[in-house]
A and B are shown apart, each in its own frame.
Chain A
Amino acid sequence: QQQVKQSPQSLIVQKGGISIINCAYENTAFDYFPWYQQFPGKGPALLIAIRPDVSEKKEGRFTISFNKSAKQFSLHIMDSQPGDSATYFCAASNNNNDMRFGAGTRLTVKP
């Protein structure tokens, strides 16, 4: 079922560093690409999302970069903080409510 490949599986970053998580998708019909953040014992929560008409979207320290021709998108977390330590999921969906999630990246930000 998985049509979205996410890497790395885990990531350790020092406080203040940049965290980068990458995703690739297959289905060209996907037109909505969200990133969800999940803390232990909680459900995923939308962090930031992009549609394919733009190549980049920035919200605070979080940026999505989108490459439509390569069918890839990535999440950049600038000035990473210990509070950012969580599991991050990329996803892709189309207007038929067919959303596929990546396998997740466990981010640890060390103080």
Chain B
Amino acid sequence: AQSVAQPEDQVNVAEGNPLTVKCTYSVSGNPYLFWYVQYPNRGLQFLLKYITGDNLVKGSYGFEAEFNKSQTSFHLKKPSALVSDSALYFCAVRAYSGSARQLTFGSGTQLTVLP
């Protein structure tokens, strides 16, 4: 079975400071990893994904994520946070191969960027 853990329910950071939202995963074989963002009363929006290749993935709105196979982690990062980055962030994993088409989501991390 595949699973995702987001160990922090809430992350607070000051505007202009770097931010990190943590994610660890468990899956059989190689993973596909995704980050999504959800603004209040909206659906999820895709931010970035890791498929293969370079461990540092760049995505929308200046976000990036680093894939670490040995630590089974895929932390979301941004060098300088904006107040508008405040939202709910979800990490998700899917198996690379096999019949598992299901995308498993973490429980979400609420990011608040303080002005």
Q: Do A and B truly interact?
A: no
